[in-house]
Amino acid sequence: MTAEKSCDPSVNEMLQIAKKKGISTVWDRYRAQLPQCGFGESGLCCRNCVMGPCRIDPFGDGPDKGICGATADTIVARNLNRYIAAGAASHSGHAKHLAHVLKKVSAGKAADYSVRDEAKLVAVARRLGFETGGLTVSEVAGRVADAALAEFSEREEPLAWVESTLTGGRLAKFKELGVMPSGIDAAISEILQRTTMGVDADPVNNLLGGIKGSLADYAGCHLGTDLSDILFGTPMPVFSEANMGVLKEKFVNIALHGHNPVVSEMILAAAKEDAVLDQAKEAGAEGINLVGICCTGNELLMRHGVQALTHSVSQEMPILTGALDAIIVDYQCVYPSLTTVAQCYGTKVVTTMGIAKIPGAVHVEIDEENALVKAREIIALAIERFKARKDAPTFIPDVKSSVVAGFSTEAIVGALAKLNAQNPLKPLIDSIIDGNIQGVVLFAGCNNVKVPQDSNYLAMVKELAKRDVLMLATGCGAGALARHGFLTPEATEEYAGPGLKAVLTAIGMANGLGKPLPPVLHIGSCVDNSRAVDIAVALANTLGVDIKELPVAASAPEYMHEKAIAIGTWAISLGIPTHLGVVPPVVGSSLVTSVLTQGAEDILGGYFIVETDPVKAAEALFAVIQKRRGGLNLATRAW
């Protein structure tokens, strides 16, 4: 029964408790929704004006047009665009927040924050074409922050974070298609306009608008990565652990959840202060144990080795241990149900952002000007809850895996430089050419209640690893693989094919690890999918080809969020074939479906592969890699 819900043993342990106590979880609420609306599932429901809602009968028995005359193709394309706009608003809202922090840092107005990575600041400034000689760190930070903020509104020229980070071939393609965004917010607002009643009824033109919106999302993601690295440090390899076994009964356990390191970095800083620790000890705790959920967790894991508690669909579960004293959230992917479950246990749910409040939570607003003071206040709430529960029994599953994370682009290049200091990419390129590495697949995205948690990731990684495919992972996908021990040298020993194992061992040994690198490199949170692009662009430029010719692919095997749809769309636009393990809500239009899964290949080089069977999906991605190897005149292999 529970295996249908999750492959994670600690989640299944918690589900038993939920059942015993009659606590409703995401899986119960999913069941209550079944059967889900077929019109919504196929993208055929339009609510874009109040003459509606309108729905198109996919079987041709009912209406074939909305009241205004919009067809199935129009409605499906418009709905897809709105997902993309919402995804882009989320990623870029996160980036804009960071840009404001950097701006305040440069003006001396956010004393708790600083530029922790000056080298990255200078690298980003130079990439944008700024002279940095003779300028102070604050001055350079101010210019980068201004350039970042200027990305949002309408400008006369294309987005700097698109133009300065992609291959010439991609930029030429986007100009040819007229999809280069000239402002992130402008692109989002353009989608909202063109999809209102009576504007863009042409489905293909709408899809081009969606591509433009997705490129705005890409810019937001890349900005998010760059600015986080500048403010909080560029990740370098770290060792840590993942899963609910990281909770400690005798500690004040605090989970940090959401996306933006702006809040969680302050909680981390406050938790290290002697006075705060003393407060915890006075309450009878041995210390403060910070752990991460979802992408905030990824940000902390990547930069500080903070242990990962759980991800995405299982975010309610750690509360059932009784040992979680507080969940501090910023925004995005936070289930409102957390407060309902928390009420049964006394766990404090603390919201921190004005745009993201939850009924039943305590709200402590964190501004850049008061961040540390507020962080201390929030930790005090967690300590208070610890005091109340310290003599009560806890049920912490004895389940955790070790993890190696922290593979920023800089960290990967640094590790490769130990093999070839002059030309760090050469060992990787040589391995792809000689076939020890067949290609590279990026795993991204979420868990989705419609898929047994983690099952698709696990099956696909096993299939691809044994066929010598190197993998990267972000977001809750990386989290899934972390919880199941796939981000370890031991996983390379167990699952990698001989070629991949040899390469990862050579890199691991050259870096003093004494063991291979993991078969899947954790490159960060969901905005950090931009790191995968940086690697692909560097490979393409070194080889003198475009991204659409590289033996690379992506997979979102259990995605659910609008952000993931935006990322998937820019991935195919960048020329990366992208697998979706959950059927997207577009099947109500055969035109839109065929453009996204077939036509896009001719136009963009990338396209979606929709496959719910993970082994078949892995086979499809391997076939993509082989086709592209053939295109580069490299030796190919059968499945």
- Residues engaged in binding ligand BF8 (CB under 6 A): 259, 294-295, 312, 333, 445-446, 475-476, 525-526, 561, 563-564
> Residues 303-333, buried b or exposed e (16+ Cβ, 10 A)?
bbbbbbbbbbbbbbbbbbbbbbbbbbbbbbb
- Choosing from 52, 305, 424, 497, the residue that interacts with ligand SF4 (CB under 6 A) is 52
Residue 362 engages ligand SF4 in binding (rule: CB under 6 A): no
Nearest to ligand BF8 of 237, 568 (CB atom) = 568
- Tokens matching residue 267: 């909680």
Where in 192-211 is the site for ligand SF4 (CB under 6 A)? 197
Give the type of residue at 95.
A
Site size for ligand SF4 (CB under 6 A): 14
Show the tokens assigned to 581.
């393990």
52 contacts which partner out of ligand BF8, ligand SF4, none, CB within 5 to 8 A by kind?
A: ligand SF4
Minimal distance, residue 91 CB to ligand BF8, in Å: 8
Closer to ligand BF8 by Cβ: residue 194 or 259: 259
CB 394 within 8 A of CB 249: yes
Say if CB 441 and CB 430 are below 8 A apart.
no
With CB under 6 A as the contact rule, which of the stretches 68-76, 380-388, 425-433, 557-565 interacts with ligand SF4?
A: 68-76
Residue pair 247/290 in contact (Cβ under 8 Å)? The answer is no
- Please tell me the distance from the alpha carbon of residue 191 to that of residue 189, in angstroms, as a whole number: 5
Q: For residues 533 and 219, what is the distance between their CA atoms, to the nearest angstrom?
A: 11
Which of residues 431 and 525 has its CB atom nearest to ligand BF8 in the complex? Answer: 525
| Binding status of residue 67 toward ligand SF4 by CB under 6 A | yes
Among 44, 54, 238, 294, binds ligand SF4 (CB under 6 A): 54
Q: Single out the segment in contact with ligand SF4 by CB under 6 A; choices: 42-50, 134-142, 143-151, 431-439.
A: 42-50
Other C-beta atoms closer than 10 Å to the C-beta of 384 total 16
Give 92 or 525: the residue with its C-beta nearer to ligand BF8.
525
Q: Residue 212 Cβ, how far from ligand SF4 at the closest point, in Å?
A: 21
- Does 339 engage in binding with ligand SF4 (CB under 6 A)? no
Which structure tokens are listed for 40?
A: 């919504």
Binding-site member from 51, 107, 615, 632 for ligand SF4 (CB under 6 A):
51
Please say which residue, 200 or 265, places its beta carbon nearer to ligand SF4: 200
Cis omega before residue 35 (within 30°)? Answer: yes
Nearest distance from residue 331's CB to ligand SF4, in Å?
29
Q: How many CB atoms lie within 10 A of CB 394?
A: 15
Q: Is the CB of 256 or the CB of 595 nearer to ligand BF8? A: 256
Q: In what order do the strands lie in the sheet with 578-580?
A: 520-524, 469-474, 439-443, 552-556, 578-580, 608-610
Closest Cα partner for 554 from 406, 452, 445?
445
Shortest spacing between CB 197 and ligand SF4, in angstroms: 4
Count of positions (residues) in the chain: 639
Q: How far apart are CA 502 and CA 436, in angstroms?
A: 8
Q: Would you tell me which residues interact with ligand SF4 (CB under 6 A)?
A: 46-49, 51-54, 66-68, 70, 75, 197
